[in-house]
A = this chain, B = another copy of it.
Amino acid sequence: MTTDRPLRADAARNRASLLAAATAEFAERGFDASVADIARRAGIGKGTVFRHFPTKDDLLAAVVLDRIDGLAALARELIEAPSPGPALRQLMEAAAGQQRQLDLSFLREAGGVNARLDDARTDLFASITALVERAQAAGAIRPDISGLDVILLMCAPNYVVSYVPDPAPDLWRRYLAIIFDGLSPDGAGPLPA
C-alpha cells in the first residue's frame, strides 16, 4: 500500500516541529485548537499540515499515539518491578503528570483512522492489567479492580485540576494520592457494578 520512501529532509524537520506545536497547542486549548494556530506555531503553512496528516483527527491521533507508546513502554518495564504496588502508582503518576488536557480522549474508538493507535491502546491495556494483577497478588490494592478502572482513574486528576483557577503545577498529585488510597484493599465493602 504505502511505499515507504524516506522523507525529504525539510519535510522531516517540518513534521517534527508540527508534532511539537500540535502537542503544545492541544495541551493548552484542548481539541478545539485550530489547525491554523498549530501551523502558525510550528512556523509552517496550513496546507503543509494537511499534507502530513490528511485530517485534524489524524494529527491528534499522532500526538496521542506517542503519549500512549511512552506510557506502554513504561508499563512494560514496571511489570518486572520488585514491588508491584509502588510500580502501579508510578505508572499512574507518569500518566497524570505528563499529559495535560489530552485526557481520556484516546479511549474513543479510533474508528480505524489509525490502526497503530488501536494497537498501542491494546498494548497499554494489557500491560496495565498485568501490573494490576501483580499488585493484587501482592495485596497492594483491592482485588475487585480492573485495568480499565486504573486507566480511567489515572486520568481523573488532570481533569479535576483543569477546573481550578490557578492550579499549582503539581496539584494533580494531591488528587492522585486520594484516588490511589481509594484503591487500597482496606476499603469499605465491595465495589458496585
Chain A: residues with CB nearer than 8 A to chain B? 104-105, 107-109, 148-149, 152-153, 155-156, 159-161, 163-165, 168, 170-171, 173-175, 177-184, 186-189, 191-193
Contact = CB atoms under 8 A, between A and B. Distances in A.
B174 A192 contact: yes
Choose among A168, A170, A191 the residue with the greatest number of B CB atoms under 10 Å from its CB.
A191
Contact of A187 (B108, B149, B160, B178): B178
Given A104-B163, A178-B179, A188-B184, A173 B193 contact: yes
9 contacts: A107-B164, A108-B163, A153-B178, A156-B156, A170-B192, A178-B191, A179-B182, A181-B182, A184-B188
A92 to B, nearest CB: 13
A185 to B, nearest CB: 10
Number of copies: 2
Closest 6 pairs (CB-CB, A-B):
A182-B182, A181-B187, A178-B182, A181-B182, A104-B163, A173-B192
Contacts of A171: 193
Nearest to A178: B182
A76 B171 CA distance: 29
A168 B148 CA distance: 14
Given A104-B159, A177-B191, A182-B182, 7 more contacts: A171-B193, A178-B179, A179-B179, A181-B184, A182-B183, A184-B188, A186-B186
